[in-house]
Structure 1
Amino acid sequence: MATTTTTKLKTTVLLREFYYNGVRIPDPGPEMTVDQVRDLLTPRFPEIATASVEGPEDTGNVLRYKFSRAIGEKG
Protein backbone atom coordinates (compact mmCIF):
# COMPACT_ATOMS: atom_id res chain seq x y z
CA MET A 1 0.00 0.00 0.00
CA ALA A 2 1.44 3.37 -1.06
CA THR A 3 1.47 6.31 1.30
CA THR A 4 1.05 9.82 -0.05
CA THR A 5 2.21 12.89 1.78
CA THR A 6 0.66 16.26 1.14
CA THR A 7 2.75 19.34 1.76
CA LYS A 8 1.16 22.75 1.98
CA LEU A 9 3.16 25.61 0.56
CA LYS A 10 2.67 29.13 1.78
CA THR A 11 3.40 31.92 -0.65
CA THR A 12 4.18 35.43 0.41
CA VAL A 13 4.46 38.45 -1.82
CA LEU A 14 7.57 40.39 -0.88
CA LEU A 15 7.39 44.15 -1.09
CA ARG A 16 10.18 46.08 -2.76
CA GLU A 17 12.18 48.97 -1.43
CA PHE A 18 14.79 51.06 -3.11
CA TYR A 19 17.87 52.78 -1.70
CA TYR A 20 19.84 55.62 -3.16
CA ASN A 21 22.63 57.48 -1.40
CA GLY A 22 21.52 56.10 1.97
CA VAL A 23 17.89 57.15 1.45
CA ARG A 24 15.18 54.48 1.68
CA ILE A 25 12.57 54.92 -1.02
CA PRO A 26 9.33 52.93 -0.70
CA ASP A 27 8.08 51.12 -3.79
CA PRO A 28 6.03 53.66 -5.81
CA GLY A 29 4.11 50.86 -7.50
CA PRO A 30 4.55 47.09 -7.50
CA GLU A 31 3.34 46.93 -11.11
CA MET A 32 6.28 49.11 -12.21
CA THR A 33 9.54 47.65 -13.48
CA VAL A 34 12.80 48.72 -11.86
CA ASP A 35 13.55 50.87 -14.94
CA GLN A 36 10.16 52.57 -14.62
CA VAL A 37 10.91 53.29 -10.95
CA ARG A 38 14.27 54.76 -12.00
CA ASP A 39 12.53 57.01 -14.54
CA LEU A 40 10.02 58.14 -11.91
CA LEU A 41 12.78 58.99 -9.42
CA THR A 42 15.09 60.77 -11.88
CA PRO A 43 13.52 64.26 -11.44
CA ARG A 44 14.14 64.05 -7.69
CA PHE A 45 17.54 62.33 -7.96
CA PRO A 46 19.02 63.21 -11.39
CA GLU A 47 22.09 60.98 -10.81
CA ILE A 48 19.84 57.90 -10.79
CA ALA A 49 19.50 58.22 -14.57
CA THR A 50 23.01 56.78 -14.99
CA ALA A 51 23.18 54.77 -11.77
CA SER A 52 23.69 51.03 -11.74
CA VAL A 53 21.13 48.82 -9.98
CA GLU A 54 22.12 46.16 -7.48
CA GLY A 55 19.65 43.53 -6.39
CA PRO A 56 17.21 42.37 -5.59
CA GLU A 57 18.50 41.34 -2.18
CA ASP A 58 16.01 39.21 -0.28
CA THR A 59 16.01 40.41 3.33
CA GLY A 60 13.23 38.02 4.32
CA ASN A 61 10.63 40.79 4.45
CA VAL A 62 11.36 42.86 1.35
CA LEU A 63 13.28 42.76 -1.88
CA ARG A 64 15.89 45.50 -1.66
CA TYR A 65 17.29 47.29 -4.71
CA LYS A 66 20.17 49.76 -4.51
CA PHE A 67 20.94 52.45 -7.03
CA SER A 68 24.66 53.23 -7.12
CA ARG A 69 26.02 56.31 -8.81
CA ALA A 70 28.12 55.68 -11.85
CA ILE A 71 31.75 56.54 -11.17
CA GLY A 72 33.47 58.41 -13.91
CA GLU A 73 35.01 61.66 -14.99
CA LYS A 74 33.00 64.71 -15.85
CA GLY A 75 33.75 66.59 -18.95
Structure 2
Amino acid sequence: MKFVDWYVKIAVVSAAIGGSMEYFMIKTGFYDKVTVLESEKRAWENSPEAQAMREALNPWRNTDTNARKPS
Protein backbone atom coordinates (compact mmCIF):
# COMPACT_ATOMS: atom_id res chain seq x y z
CA MET A 1 0.00 0.00 0.00
CA LYS A 2 2.19 2.71 -1.36
CA PHE A 3 -0.25 5.61 -1.44
CA VAL A 4 -2.33 5.09 1.70
CA ASP A 5 -1.70 8.61 2.98
CA TRP A 6 -2.87 10.06 -0.34
CA TYR A 7 -6.11 8.03 -0.20
CA VAL A 8 -6.70 9.14 3.38
CA LYS A 9 -6.27 12.79 2.40
CA ILE A 10 -8.70 12.40 -0.48
CA ALA A 11 -11.23 10.69 1.81
CA VAL A 12 -10.95 13.44 4.45
CA VAL A 13 -11.32 16.23 1.89
CA SER A 14 -14.29 14.49 0.26
CA ALA A 15 -16.00 13.98 3.62
CA ALA A 16 -15.43 17.65 4.52
CA ILE A 17 -16.90 18.83 1.22
CA GLY A 18 -19.90 16.51 1.56
CA GLY A 19 -20.48 17.58 5.15
CA SER A 20 -20.34 21.26 4.25
CA MET A 21 -22.84 20.71 1.45
CA GLU A 22 -25.22 18.93 3.83
CA TYR A 23 -24.81 21.72 6.39
CA PHE A 24 -25.58 24.34 3.74
CA MET A 25 -28.70 22.48 2.61
CA ILE A 26 -29.96 22.12 6.17
CA LYS A 27 -29.31 25.79 7.02
CA THR A 28 -31.02 27.10 3.86
CA GLY A 29 -34.13 24.94 4.33
CA PHE A 30 -33.50 22.94 1.18
CA TYR A 31 -34.95 19.71 2.58
CA ASP A 32 -38.12 21.43 3.77
CA LYS A 33 -38.69 22.95 0.33
CA VAL A 34 -38.05 19.64 -1.43
CA THR A 35 -40.43 17.82 0.89
CA VAL A 36 -43.21 20.29 0.11
CA LEU A 37 -42.55 20.14 -3.63
CA GLU A 38 -42.51 16.34 -3.66
CA SER A 39 -45.77 16.11 -1.72
CA GLU A 40 -47.42 18.57 -4.12
CA LYS A 41 -46.10 16.58 -7.07
CA ARG A 42 -47.45 13.30 -5.69
CA ALA A 43 -50.81 14.89 -4.91
CA TRP A 44 -51.02 16.16 -8.49
CA GLU A 45 -49.96 12.81 -9.99
CA ASN A 46 -52.74 11.06 -8.08
CA SER A 47 -55.43 13.57 -9.05
CA PRO A 48 -58.14 12.74 -11.62
CA GLU A 49 -56.97 15.62 -13.84
CA ALA A 50 -53.46 14.20 -14.06
CA GLN A 51 -54.80 10.71 -14.77
CA ALA A 52 -56.99 12.04 -17.58
CA MET A 53 -54.06 13.99 -19.04
CA ARG A 54 -51.80 10.94 -18.84
CA GLU A 55 -54.35 8.80 -20.67
CA ALA A 56 -54.96 11.46 -23.31
CA LEU A 57 -51.26 11.93 -24.03
CA ASN A 58 -50.43 8.23 -24.28
CA PRO A 59 -50.67 7.27 -27.97
CA TRP A 60 -50.17 3.57 -27.19
CA ARG A 61 -53.01 3.24 -24.68
CA ASN A 62 -55.15 1.12 -27.01
CA THR A 63 -52.38 -1.01 -28.51
CA ASP A 64 -52.89 -3.98 -26.20
CA THR A 65 -56.67 -3.95 -26.43
CA ASN A 66 -56.60 -3.73 -30.24
CA ALA A 67 -54.05 -6.54 -30.49
CA ARG A 68 -56.14 -8.86 -28.31
CA LYS A 69 -59.43 -8.32 -30.12
CA PRO A 70 -60.37 -11.23 -32.33
CA SER A 71 -60.95 -10.23 -35.95
Structure 2 length normalisation: TM-score? 0.26
Q: Whose helix fraction is larger, Structure 1's or Structure 2's?
A: 2
More strand by share: 1
User: Which structure has the larger Rg over C-alpha atoms?
Assistant: 2
Q: Relative contact order: is structure 1 or structure 2 higher (C-alpha 8 Å, sep ≥ 6)? A: 1
